[in-house]
C-alpha cells in the first residue's frame, strides 16, 4: 500500500489486526498528535499465509480492507504470477 500524499492518516479498524496468518509492517510513517501519518513512499507492507498461495493472497487483500485510509491506495496485482503457477499444477 502506498500513499498519494504525505501527511495523510490511516487507522486499523480493530486492534486485533496482526494474527498468526496476517501481519502489517509500517515504514515511511511518523506519529503526530497520537495519529500515524504517512511520511512519503511505500508506507505499509501487508502479508498473510494460507494453505495455498491464492488463500494467502486473499487473506492479505482482506486485511487491507480492514485499514481505513481514504487517501491511500494499493496494488491489486501482487502475487498473480504465483497464483497462476499454482493453478496450473
**pLDDT band at residue 3 under the 50/70/90 scheme:** very low
The CATH number covering residue 73 comes to: 3.90.600.10
- Look at residue 85 and tell me if it is in a domain: no
- Look at residue 89 and tell me if it is in a domain: no
**pLDDT band at residue 48 under the 50/70/90 scheme:** very high
- Look at residue 47 and tell me if it is in a domain: yes
| DSSP assignment string, 6-34 | TT-B-EESSTT--BTTEEEEE-SEEEETT
Residue with the bigger pLDDT between 36 and 88: it is 88
CB of 10 closer than 8 Å to CB of 2? no
What single DSSP character describes residue 64?
H
Which pLDDT value is given to residue 74? 86
Q: What's the structural domain count of the chain?
A: 1
**pLDDT band at residue 2 under the 50/70/90 scheme:** very low
Which pLDDT value is given to residue 14? 56
- Look at residue 36 and tell me if it is in a domain: yes
- Look at residue 74 and tell me if it is in a domain: yes
- Look at residue 73 and tell me if it is in a domain: yes
Which residues constitute the domain of residue 9? 2-80
Amino acid at each position: 500500500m502506498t500513499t498519494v500524499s504525505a501527511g495523510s492518516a490511516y487507522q486499523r479498524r480493530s486492534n486485533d489486526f496482526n494474527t498468526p496468518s496476517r501481519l502489517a509492517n509500517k515504514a515511511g510513517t511518523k506519529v503526530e498528535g497520537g495519529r500515524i501519518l504517512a511520511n512519503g513512499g511505500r508506507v505499509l507492507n501487508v502479508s498473510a499465509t494460507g494453505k495455498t498461495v491464492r488463500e494467502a493472497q486473499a487473506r492479505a487483500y482482506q486485511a487491507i480492507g480492514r485499514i481505513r485510509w481514504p487517501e491511500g491506495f494499493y496494488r491489486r496485482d501482487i502475487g498473480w504470477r504465483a497464483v497462476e503457477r499454482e493453478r496450473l499444477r
